[in-house]
Amino acid sequence: MTDSTPLPPVSPPGHRGPPDHERRQQIIQAAEAHFRHYGFGKTTVADLARAIGLSTAYIYKFFDSKRAIGEAVCSLVLSRVLDRARAIAAESGPAAQRLRRLFTAMAEISLEQYFHERRLHDMAVTACTDRWQSVADYDQRLQAILSTLIRDGRDSGEFEGRTPLEETSLAITLAMASFLHPLILEERRDQALSDAALLAGLVLRSLAP
Amino acid sequence: MTDSTPLPPVSPPGHRGPPDHERRQQIIQAAEAHFRHYGFGKTTVADLARAIGLSTAYIYKFFDSKRAIGEAVCSLVLSRVLDRARAIAAESGPAAQRLRRLFTAMAEISLEQYFHERRLHDMAVTACTDRWQSVADYDQRLQAILSTLIRDGRDSGEFEGRTPLEETSLAITLAMASFLHPLILEERRDQALSDAALLAGLVLRSLAP
DNA sequence: CGAGTGACGATATTGTCAATTCGTCACAAA
DNA sequence: TTTGTGACGAATTGACAATATCGTCACTCG
């Protein structure tokens, strides 16, 4: 046991077999391509197996269910969104301005997905409706990004510091659902950007010192 | 044309024939009973006709579609909710307290409907997803109730008065969708009351002078 | 004229049954 | 031991005919 041996990574729920395995990456890759093109529901595990050149039984050595594959792909896609959110939140300039830009960008990314990646959007709907773990994880990570941004604002004196940070960031994450939840986004797509701006305004007023 | 003759009422969309007609009331009454028991989708127009003792063709003398009947019942049910909201908003005491009570009560009413009037809840889902006019009307009326409450708070000095009232009440109505939209309520039913409290907190911070 | 309806076409839904899909198990090969 | 699979049962989906539903029209009756 040398000092350079990392601890074994904790596998996400639904993962089987060794966490770092080429076949798993191939499955996720094939799954992402198929889900983007055909949608989650229309893609069969057999399609994925065929695309890789395996049997469906072998797929189940790596994921315990079709849903687990969906969760893995969903996590991957959402982590790209979060990377962009993190980048915006980490920009220089007033925290309030960054928060506005974050709200607008999140709305734009979601609309882009709705209009140009409809199958991925529909998969997001399924993930929310069926309460996939990847959605809960995403919410937590978004909240962490907001916490960091708010802490910046507090440090610079832009934002109030009385309310517990956890409560503030949780409430803001929650409020963001009113324009980011995929089903609401679908219903209110024509107003999504103005909704985002309105809510950013309300949130910034709530953060005012 | 005497001075005591009221103007003819403007009929809601989808209504046919004379606005004030006993058959229309019977249809709405039968429809509400059936939708509560069987749901909107499972209830046929023929069911309603049979319950009243008419042909389906006669039902269409009063409503131009099954959806219009649904909208009428939906409006009726939502107006009862709004009556309760209005009563809370009109209570005496600090405006902030009333706003908290309003958020909590709205969450409770919605959860009550989800758990004990599931068919009505499902109909609300349909109404939102298909963007029924009755939902848009409800949103507007809720916003008006909030405007009145906020104006009270401004008059008493509890709330800031810089932000245009329309913008404030619209943003709050929007934020309320995060715990009141029927599909979100369904997903997050275990946290609906704490969500409502969190959001009331955020909204009240946004209203602080 | 107001109150009311039978008949009907277009569309949607349901019922039936075959085919497919999901996920497991016992096993094989290197 | 790791990599991989054919066979299989339970559940779901697809195909298609049968039936139901939505909504309209031309008409009747008092």
Give the confidence band of B125 by pLDDT, cuts at 50, 70, 90: very high
A101 touches strand D (CB under 7 A): no
Q: Protein B43 CA to nucleic acid C14 C1', in Å?
A: 15
Would you write out chain A's pLDDT as a tens digit for each of its 209 residues? 333 344 555 678 889 988 888 899 999 999 999 999 999 999 999 999 999 999 999 999 999 999 999 999 999 999 999 999 999 999 999 999 999 999 999 999 999 999 999 999 999 999 999 999 999 999 999 999 999 999 999 999 999 999 999 999 999 999 999 999 999 999 999 999 999 999 999 999 999 99
Kindly state the tokens that stand for A144: 């962490």
Topology adopted by domain B22-64: Arc Repressor Mutant, subunit A (1.10.10)
- Closest by alpha carbon to A63, among A53, A76, A72, A51? A72
Cα–Cα distance between A182 and A129 in angstroms, integer?
Answer: 10
Instruction: Catalogue the long-range contacts made by A51-55 (C-beta closer than 8 Å, 24 or more residues apart).
Output: A52/A23, A52/A26, A52/A27, A54/A23
Across A32-62, b (16+ Cβ under 10 Å) vs e yields: bebbbeebbeebebeebbebbebeeeebbeb
Cα–Cα distance between B150 and B145 in angstroms, integer?
Answer: 9
- CB B202 to CB A131 under 8 A? no
CB B29 within 8 A of CB B3: no
Residues of each domain in chain A carrying CATH 1.10.10.60: 22-65
pLDDT in tens, B141-181: 999 999 999 999 999 999 999 999 999 999 999 999 999 99
| A chain contacts of residue B195, beta-carbon cutoff 8 Å | 174
| Shortest-distance nucleotide from A55 CA to C1' | D5
Q: Protein A52 CA to nucleic acid D23 C1', in Å?
A: 51
A65 touches strand C (CB under 7 A): yes
- Give the DSSP H or E segment for B101: helix B95-116
Topology adopted by domain B74-207: Tetracycline Repressor; domain 2 (1.10.357)
A67 touches strand C (CB under 7 A): yes
Residue B8 clears pLDDT 60, i.e. is over it? no
Residue B136 clears pLDDT 70, i.e. is over it? yes
Cα–Cα distance between A62 and A60 in angstroms, integer?
Answer: 5
Cα–Cα distance between A15 and A20 in angstroms, integer?
Answer: 11
pLDDT in tens, A50-107: 999 999 999 999 999 999 999 999 999 999 999 999 999 999 999 999 999 999 999 9
**Least Cα separation, residue B7 to chain A (angstroms):** 35
Q: CA separation (Å) from A119 to A72, A123, B59, B93?
A: 16, 6, 40, 50
Cα–Cα distance between B94 and A11 in angstroms, integer?
Answer: 51
Provide ipTM, 2 decimals.
0.89
Q: Report the DSSP beta bridge partners of residue A63.
A: A15
Q: What is the CATH number of domain A22-65?
A: 1.10.10.60
- CB B202 to CB A203 under 8 A? yes
Instruction: Catalogue the long-range contacts made by A21-24 (C-beta closer than 8 Å, 24 or more residues apart).
Output: A21/A62, A23/A52, A23/A54, A23/A58, A23/A61, A23/A62, A24/A62, A24/A63
- CB B178 to CB A178 under 8 A? yes
> What was the pLDDT predicted at A17?
86
Nucleotides of D under 7 A from a protein CB: 3-7, 13-14, 20-26
Quick one: DSSP state of residue A163? S
- Closest by alpha carbon to B69, among B32, B117, B124? B32
Q: Protein A57 CA to nucleic acid C28 C1', in Å?
A: 14
Q: Among all chains, which residue has been given the structure tokens 């595990």? A: A45
- CB B167 to CB A198 under 8 A? yes
- Closest by alpha carbon to B78, among B43, B44, B113? B113
B97 touches strand D (CB under 7 A): no
Residues of each domain in chain B carrying CATH 1.10.10.60: 22-64
A50 HSE (CA, 13 A, CB side): 6
Mean pLDDT of B112-119: 96
> What was the pLDDT predicted at A181?
97
| A chain contacts of residue B129, beta-carbon cutoff 8 Å | 183, 187
Cα–Cα distance between A80 and A91 in angstroms, integer?
Answer: 17
Topology adopted by domain A67-207: Tetracycline Repressor; domain 2 (1.10.357)
- CB A202 to CB B128 under 8 A? no
DSSP-based three-state secondary structure for A164: coil
> What was the pLDDT predicted at A1?
39
| A chain contacts of residue B171, beta-carbon cutoff 8 Å | 198-199, 201-202
> What was the pLDDT predicted at A31?
95
For chains A and B, count residue pairs whose Cβ atoms are closer than 8 Å: 81
Residue B131 clears pLDDT 80, i.e. is over it? yes
CB A96 within 8 A of CB A160: no
Mean pLDDT of B132-136: 96
Nearest to B128 among A163, A187, A208 (CB): A187
Give the confidence band of B12 by pLDDT, cuts at 50, 70, 90: confident
> What was the pLDDT predicted at A6?
47
- Closest by alpha carbon to B27, among B44, B52, B58? B52
CB A205 within 8 A of CB A157: no
Q: Protein A202 CA to nucleic acid D12 C1', in Å?
A: 47
CB B108 within 8 A of CB B47: no
pLDDT in tens, B23-61: 999 999 999 999 999 999 999 999 999 999 999 999 999
| Shortest-distance nucleotide from A47 CA to C1' | C21
**Least Cα separation, residue B207 to chain A (angstroms):** 7
∠ CA A181-A143-B106, nearest 5°, is 50
Residues of each domain in chain A carrying CATH 1.10.357.10: 67-207
